[in-house]
Amino acid sequence: MNLLFIGDIVGKGGRKAVLELAPELRREFNCSFCVANAENIAAGAGLAAKCLKEIADVVNVFTTGDHVWDQKPFEQEIVQLENVLRPANFSSLQPGRGWRVYRNPGGGEIAVINLLGKVFVRESAYCPFETAEKVLKEIPASVKCIIVDFHAEATSEKAAMAHFLNGKVTAVLGTHTHVQTADAKVLPGGTAFISDVGMTGAECSILGRDVQAVVDKFRSGMPKALPVVETGIRLDAVVVSYDHLTGRATAIKNISRMSTI
């Protein structure tokens, strides 16, 4: 079976690109299930239920990261959204869930786990490794396909998580840095891995933001608004192929497509 995972969606342009390209990619690669990181979907920072609703017909599950609470109303909205996850290693006092089991329209079930890294990440979170161990014990044994979105900064931390979970999950897919990496592979235990899936945002930008504004901020060191670029959108993703009987990954393929947006 095949699963499509879309990199960090940035702003309105990113949402439009997902609407345009995700159905086409799902048909091309015969993907019955789609996960997308959406922590920048609302104006480039945070989430909003109305933004998620725009693309809910083409994405089955939305994951997040350190920007999940950037839009204040989302704290109330997330409790009504079973298809949205926040990092599982956040405090249990925070609203929402960090993992769930979902029905795959193509057959069987898929568990999706959302984790936040600790290295170079300013937000406070519990150890993602201990959290992953705890969550895996709670997932029913009948669920063979387990996808982990590890939203982290350091490549080493992401690789360490992949090797730590090798043979225990179907895939460990890195998000957060918005740059698709060239290290996609299937580890010996049958776990697919990539350091970062990339982003769905403007190709001519700096992580989806206006180039000159970002350069000026680096040069001056002063606070500065960083407008989201909403045109010239490229969608980055991966397709993970796996055995539905064992949950072992058999292949992972990088994808990068330009939209007409």
Region class of 190: left (phi > 0), else alpha (psi between -120 and 50), else beta? left
**Sheet holding 192-194: strands in order across?**
99-103, 109-116, 145-151, 171-175, 192-194, 185-186
C-alpha neighbours within 13 Å on the C-beta side of residue 191: 22
CA distance 113 to 16: 26
Annotated active-site residue 67? The verdict is: yes
User: Choosing from 67, 151, 176, 178, which is the catalytic residue?
Assistant: 67
Is the Cβ–Cβ distance between 154 and 117 less than 8 Å?
Answer: yes
Q: Which residues are catalytic?
A: 67
